[in-house]
Structures are given as structure tokens and as C-alpha cells.
Structure 1
């Protein structure tokens, strides 16, 4: 995704625009099943990107007797984000359920041209300047001045992949600051609700080789701006709580 963003922001893929002045201090995320709308007061707000004018569509719908968020993407990209401030501790369980209509034939998590997913969940972490080099700090500062946002640091992306086998993780083709984790792969389960539970702390350690800093945002996203394909996804409630 985001092939049209200037190079400096492309290097910060999945990190751009994921923080703001106000954050939720509580670990609980607004439940889609309990929302009356997806406006600014719902706790989920639009996640949009420079130079991408065509956005995915998000709406509350009733699917299989439960209120969920339906997303439709057709050559565009955008998401919904809940901004939080949460210390992950020794273990942090992220649980959700989702369903997709199809995967993208040209989707490939290892290639920029295939960096599209019918469904994904971002987990963004606080930036750690003491672990960054001079050029990275300067690059980030330029982006922050340009777009007026404080950027987070590393990110995990849980994806419904096409070619990447389930269970595998790879660096994002735009930036190694973001790691893609395939929780589902291929079309075998398309059209079926799938429940996923991940230990964010364990995944972060496996991805980056160290303990995670505080979380600053969790987002859902369906995007197809690279492949130009289309898909529908449904997202059920997302819960986050300390692990055992």
C-alpha cells in the first residue's frame, strides 16, 4: 500500500499518522458491537494517508446477528484507528474475529507491489529515540514538521495474507520498522468468521528482538491501492487485556 506517498513517508509506512495529542488511557477498546456510529466520539477515527484520495469504506452493519464493522476496498486505502496509551507488561493478549470475501490475487507481503490486504490490524508502539540513529531521528522530524503529527516507532501488522504462509512474519517491504505477521493465508477460510488471539509481547520480541515499549494505537485497515483489486472484510470486536 501507500505507493504514492513521498519517499520520506514511505520509509515510515504503517507509522505515519498513528498518534495524536489525546490518547485513551484505558486498555479497553471501543467495542464495535456497542457503537451507535463511527463518528469522532466513537473512539475510532479515520486513518488516512497523504496522496491517497480514494479511501476504503467503513460502516456498522449487522452480520450473522452481530453488529460489526464492514470495510469495502476497491483500489484505495484507509483505516480506522483507536489511540491508546498502554504499557504491555510481560504479556498482552490481543483477540479479534474477522471475515473476508476474498484475498488479492496479486497480494504478496514480500513485495511493494503486493503490499495490500483485505484485512489487517495495526499495532503501533511508542518511538524510542535513544535507540534510533541520527538520520532516522532527522527523517522523522521532517515528517512530523510536514504533517503535524508525532510519529510512533515500530509496528506489528497482523494480516490476512495471500502468499505468505500462516504463522510467518516478514519485514514490511517499505520499512523494517514494521513487521507483517500472517495470521491467516489464502482463500480457504474466505467467507468464514475466524477468531485470532495473539500475545503482542511475544510477537514483538520475535519480530524485533527486544521487549516492546508502550502501545500508542491499534487500527483496522483494508487496502488495495497497489494491486487495484477489491474485497470486503468484516471486523468483530477487538479486545486487549493482560495475558496469564
Structure 2
């Protein structure tokens, strides 16, 4: 009986938050000649961007595909100006944190794909949480690059400072795409200052999934 009670308790307790290592991610550049200066550590990553754009990305193991909430800390000490995040070619932002979803069977077919290939998969859906732009916190914006496959969610407008974030991926996915989320297969972090030819100094740490 005691063992049964213990098992039931284990089943109803919330899952423990999983710390995501922020080292060993792959940089994806969008120009052969320029990119950001990324510094990766086990629990933090920093970036210096000078009129450039690039992202770091990582695939998630299948054990993490069911994650439905996320939390992290981030800071910006040098900020790009406020931009229109819906404008292609004019949407600089300090930091974006991407969550890439797709059905499990499609994810298994693309297990070795890079981020650019994953973002081209027709069934992929992407939530982008952003520090930047001129829209107020909580704004849900269309992506100028991903069409119906991606949505931008503004957490902080363009400014300096530091903040802790906690997001409900499942609720934001339903709000963005009108259905339950599929498997969370990948993550990416970008910094973008090329359109305004300005600079960014920023960092992100303590990324957790649950």
C-alpha cells in the first residue's frame, strides 16, 4: 500500500524542470563574411553584435520533445533601436529565443537536419520570444520570414535591462496556431543588428524546460 501511494504521488507531481546546456550549440550565419561574437558557457551565453546577424541552434533529444513550459533569464546592456518586427529587412532585435515544433514522425525523418532545413519543413511551427521591437509586451505578431509557420511574441521592447521570463509554450502555441502543440524538437537564439547597423551586447542564462 505504501509503495502504491508513493507511485501515485510521483505520477501527479509536476515534472522537474530540465536545465538546458548552453554550450555546444551550432552557429548559423546568414552572411559568409559577417556574424555575431557568441560566447557559450554551460549555463549562459553572451553575444556582441555589430551590424550583423546570426543564430545559435541545437536539436533536442526525444526525451525533451514533450516540454510545454520554459523559463530563462536574459539581459541587454547595449540595445538596437525600436523597429517594426513585422517588416522584412527592418526588424532588428536584441535577442530572440526560438522554439521549433513538428509532428514526431516528421521530426524523426529530419533528425539530422540543420536549423535552416528544419525551418523549411512544411509541418514545422515556430514560436519566437523577442526582446526588441516597438510593440508592447505580449504582442503576437506575424513573422515576415516564416509566414503562417511562425509567430513572434514580444516579451520586452527595445531597451536595456535584465529580466526573468517564464512562458507557457502550450498556451502560446494554441493562441498562435489554433491547435495543441506538437513535439518540441529544437531551440535557437539569435541577435540581429544588421538592418540598423547598430550594436548589441546581451546574454541569456538558466534556460529550463518542463
Alignment: residue pair count: 181
Match of 1:59 among 19, 39, 62: 39
Map of 1:240 onto structure 2? 209
Map of 1:88 onto structure 2? 66
How big is the shift at 1:79?
1.6
Contact 1:167 1:182 in 2 (8 A): yes
1:106-127 CA deviation, whole Å, 9 max, x = no partner? 5221211322211110111126
Map of 2:136 onto structure 1? 165
Match status 1:181 vs 2:150? no
Q: 1: distance between equivalents of 2:69 and 2:18?
A: 12
Identify if the C-alpha distance between structure 1 residues 31 and 175 changes in structure 2 by more than 3 Å, giving closer, same or farther. Answer: closer
Structure-to-structure mapping, 1:88-237, within 5 angstroms: 88=66, 92-105=68-81, 107-126=83-102, 149-150=117-118, 151-152=120-121, 153-176=124-147, 177-187=149-159, 190=160, 192-237=161-206
1:49-81 CA deviation, whole Å, 9 max, x = no partner? 3x45311111147xxxx9632101111111211
SS in structure 1 of the partner of residue 79 of structure 2: coil
Identify if the C-alpha distance between structure 1 residues 179 and 228 changes in structure 2 by more than 3 Å, giving closer, same or farther. Answer: same
SS in structure 1 of the partner of residue 154 of structure 2: strand
Q: Report which stretch shifted further, 158-167 or 109-118.
A: 109-118
Identify if the C-alpha distance between structure 1 residues 148 and 220 changes in structure 2 by more than 3 Å, giving closer, same or farther. Answer: closer
SS in structure 2 of the partner of residue 195 of structure 1: strand
Q: CA RMSD in A?
A: 2.9
Q: 2: distance between equivalents of 1:167 and 1:75?
A: 27
Q: 1: distance between equivalents of 2:194 and 2:82?
A: 12
Q: 2: distance between equivalents of 1:123 and 1:213?
A: 11
Q: 2: distance between equivalents of 1:175 and 1:72?
A: 25
Q: Which runs of 5+ in 1 are unaligned?
A: 1-26, 33-37, 131-143
Q: 2: distance between equivalents of 1:82 and 1:67?
A: 14
Q: Which runs of 5+ in 2 are unaligned?
A: 1-16, 107-112
Identify if the C-alpha distance between structure 1 residues 29 and 80 changes in structure 2 by more than 3 Å, giving closer, same or farther. Answer: farther
Q: 2: distance between equivalents of 1:114 and 1:238?
A: 28
Identify if the C-alpha distance between structure 1 residues 110 and 124 changes in structure 2 by more than 3 Å, giving closer, same or farther. Answer: same
TM-score normalised to the size of structure 2?
0.75
Contact 1:98 1:233 in 2 (8 A): yes
TM-score normalised to the size of structure 1?
0.65
SS in structure 2 of the partner of residue 112 of structure 1: coil
* Greater Rg by CA: 2
